[in-house]
Structure 1
Amino acid sequence: MSASVLRRVARALLGLGLLSTSTPTVADIRDYEFKLVREKVKKGQAVVDVRLIHKPDDRAVSDAVIFAMRLDMAPDDMEQMTSAIEAVKSPEPGLYRFKVDLTAEGRWRISLAAKVQGETETLQGRLVLQATP
């Protein structure tokens, strides 16, 4: 196909609104954040719910792929004290549920890494929850 034919096709597509000359919007991974639904949980086996939020419009984000998670007591200067964390099925879109074993009272940190659909960067979050008696 010749260059002149390609230019005519491009002009036609522009006229129909099927082609844009504007630069695509660059998304920013900092527009997303994880939020705990509850910050206090009873010590022992528990379920922790985390929301993934798109901050500019406060919209819940579903279909993120969480590929790394860690649970430790770093907020109480005991980063080496780790415990079990497991992703489990969520009851609703935009809510990510984890089964945890809070073996001691105190502050626990949940560290998450996720890929958000449509974003190239990795979202990382660190959330602190309180294990109570």
Structure 2
Amino acid sequence: MIITRTLRALVAALPLTAVALPALADIKDYEFQLTQSEFKQGDGVVITVKLIDKRSGKPVPDAVIFAKRIDMEPEGMAAMASPIEMLPSPEAGAYSFKTKLVMEGGWRLSLGAKVQGETGTLENKLILEALP
């Protein structure tokens, strides 16, 4: 009889615990956004992106960026890539990279990241323009 009462109490409490849990996010709820889309062609160009939670519009700090590439795919020259180096974060939720934009025209910044507390991999491709 004691076991039956305990089981009934546990079963009755289950809906309450389900309501108390926060809604789970999905990796698709996040995206990188360029802070500017036009840059002067040359060496030492610093590109900054923000990682945004699309549900709230707030920046997301502490992502682990494990893949980065910049190339001229928008100009049909995906093989023309430049070295890219990650720099210290200028502010929470912002991520900066230093590169060399050797030619004017369209460039694609490809990023792969893990967002703290989320499963899956965030992958974004951002288009920017190098001006003379």
TM-score, with length taken from structure 2:
0.85
Distance in 1 (alpha carbons) for counterparts of 2:5 and 2:64: 43
Distance 1:4 1:52, change over 3 A: same
Spell out, residue by residue over 1:45-78, the C-alpha distance to the aligned partner (whole angstroms, 9 max, x if none): 2000000000111000000000000110000000
Deviation for aligned residue 1:26: 3.3
Counterparts of 1:66 and 1:6, CA distance in 2: 48
- Residue 27 of structure 1 and its aligned partner are, at CA, apart by 1.8
Aligned residue identity for 2:18? T
**Structure 1 residue 21, shift from structure 2 partner:** 3.2
Structure 1 segments (4+ residues) deviating >4 Å: 3-11
Paired position in structure 1 for 2:55? 56
Percent identity of equivalent pairs: 49
Q: Give 1:111 deviation, angstroms.
A: 0.2
Q: How is 1:20-99 mapped onto 2 (pairs within 5 angstroms)?
A: 20-22=17-19, 25-44=23-42, 45-99=44-98
Partner Cα distance (2:77, 2:5) in 1:
68
Aligned length: 128
Check 1:122–1:5 CA distance in 2 against 1; reply closer, same or farther (3 A cut): farther
Using structure 1 for the length normalisation, give the TM-score. 0.85
Shift of 1:20: 1.3
Q: RMSD between aligned alpha carbons?
A: 2.5
Gaps of 5+ in 2: none
Residue 41 of structure 1 aligns with an amino acid whose one-letter code is: F
